[in-house]
């Protein structure tokens, strides 16, 4: 486990683009992260995944989720995780270790031994068979009050007919049928891709450095370039305003990607939006493409503004 350092404490409000990335919502859960925490590593498998969080160069926490068939013995799991960490870091302490002290914060069972040693928090959702496990690198009463308690208290279930997907500043509200497919991280640019069983594909992007992306160009041309790189043909575009932001709506088509439509080379019609959120200095795009049958989602309903 990486070494920990004392957390930063500041009452100054965060810039809009940093406040947005505090929101984390994924397969069955949602949290509001402490200020300045960043995801530095991840595994997004629905059955077993994890996020690691750093604040600048200091490790802050790890969140692991697993789908399990029956209710686990949470105290035993917390004790075993702690024992294994001690065996790695301090074998003598591992031999003397007996049990963690346990308490409750909201729906989470907390286990800790003494200041300076790892602390864990677990929650099991029996209705969906989901185990959530937070591991903090070193128990610190001040950090417990300032960061960890608000973090755990912010937990929300996320498994209804309309689900939140919030990661790296992208915030979406999607129907249950929209299943996560892919995360595409690039420098100053991230994209999330989802698809329904009827092959309606949705791609959301968040892009930094708009002054570079728009240099010598405009929103319409910038988005056309992105769409064309994905094999699309731009059919028409028009300037719009979206939630008060300058925007462009584009209609495009792309060769079918599934089943018989791919085999016969049928073209699917898509709709795409790009807009410039100047308060964040970010460009956002939302694209939907698929067969004619699935209805498109309204961009104003999908995005978290």
d(CA 63, CA 132): 7
In 3D, which of 132, 135, 111, 136 has the Cα closest to residue 123? 132
Average the pLDDT over 110-122 and give the result: 93
6-15, 77-86, 265-274: which range is least confident on average?
A: 6-15
Is the pLDDT at 7 greater than 80? The verdict is no
d(CA 175, CA 156): 17
What pLDDT is attached to residue 58? 94
Residue 167 backbone class (left: φ over 0; alpha: ψ -120 to 50; beta: rest): beta
What pLDDT is attached to residue 2? 52
Structure confidence by residue, pLDDT tens digits, 170-225: 999 999 999 999 999 988 899 999 999 989 999 999 999 999 999 989 999 999 99
Percent of the chain residues topping a pLDDT of 70 = 93
What pLDDT is attached to residue 6? 46
- Determine phi and psi for 54, rounding to 5 degrees: -125, 155
d(CA 123, CA 131): 6
What pLDDT is attached to residue 5? 45
Residue 262 CB contacts under 8 Å (≥ 6 apart), including other chains: 255, 256
Is the pLDDT at 103 greater than 50? The verdict is yes
In 3D, which of 192, 195, 214 has the Cα closest to residue 286? 192
Is the pLDDT at 256 greater than 60? The verdict is yes
Cα–Cα distances in Å, from 183 out to 10, 101, 194? 32, 38, 9
Average pLDDT across the chain, whole number: 91
Is the pLDDT at 250 greater than 50? The verdict is yes
Residue with tokens 């404490």: 9
Residue 36 CB contacts under 8 Å (≥ 6 apart), including other chains: 8, 14, 18, 55, 56
Q: Which residues pair with 249 in a beta bridge?
A: 238, 273
More confident residue, 38 or 4: 38
Domains and CATH numbers, the chain: 16-158 (3.40.1000), 174-302 (3.40.1000.10)
pTM, two decimal places: 0.90
Residue 197 CB contacts under 8 Å (≥ 6 apart), including other chains: 177, 179
Is the pLDDT at 10 greater than 60? The verdict is no
Cα–Cα distances in Å, from 255 out to 163, 259, 264, 269? 29, 12, 9, 9
What pLDDT is attached to residue 261? 59
Is the pLDDT at 8 greater than 50? The verdict is no
Residue with tokens 């402490």: 34
Are the CB atoms for 31 and 167 separated by under 8 Å? no
User: How many residues are there in the chain?
Assistant: 305
Average the pLDDT over 80-94 and give the result: 92
In 3D, which of 103, 86, 82, 107 has the Cα closest to residue 95? 86
């Amino acid at each position: 486990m990486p070494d920990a350092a004392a957390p930063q404490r500041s009452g100054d409000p965060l810039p809009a683009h940093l406040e947005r990335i505090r929101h984390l919502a994924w397969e069955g859960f949602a949290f509001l992260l402490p200020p300045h925490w960043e995801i530095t590593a991840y595994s997004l498998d629905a059955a077993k995944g994890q996020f690691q969080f750093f604040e600048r160069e200091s490790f802050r926490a790890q969140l692991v989720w697993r789908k399990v068939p029956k209710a686990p013995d949470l105290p035993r799991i917390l004790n075993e995780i702690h024992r294994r960490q001690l065996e790695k870091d301090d074998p003598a302490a591992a031999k003397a270790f007996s049990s963690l002290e346990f308490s409750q914060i909201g729906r989470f069972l907390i286990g800790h031994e003494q200041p300076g040693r790892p602390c864990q928090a677990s929650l099991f959702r029996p209705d969906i068979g989901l185990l959530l496990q937070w591991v903090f690198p070193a128990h610190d009463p001040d950090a417990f009050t300032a960061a960890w308690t608000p973090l755990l208290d912010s937990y929300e279930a996320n498994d209804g007919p309309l689900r939140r997907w919030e990661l790296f500043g992208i915030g979406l509200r999607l129907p249950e049928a929209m299943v996560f497919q892919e995360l595409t991280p690039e420098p100053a640019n991230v994209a999330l891709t989802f698809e329904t069983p009827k092959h309606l594909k949705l791609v959301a992007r968040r892009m930094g450095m708009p002054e570079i992306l728009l240099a010598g160009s405009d929103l319409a041309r910038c988005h056309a370039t992105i769409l064309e790189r994905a094999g699309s043909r731009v059919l028409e575009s028009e300037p719009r305003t979206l939630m008060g932001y300058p925007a462009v709506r584009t209609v495009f088509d792309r060769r079918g990607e599934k089943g018989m439509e791919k085999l016969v080379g049928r073209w699917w019609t898509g709709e795409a939006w790009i807009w410039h959120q100047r308060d964040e200095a970010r460009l956002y795009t939302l694209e939907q493409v698929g067969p004619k049958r699935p209805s498109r989602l309204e961009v104003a309903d999908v995005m978290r503004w």
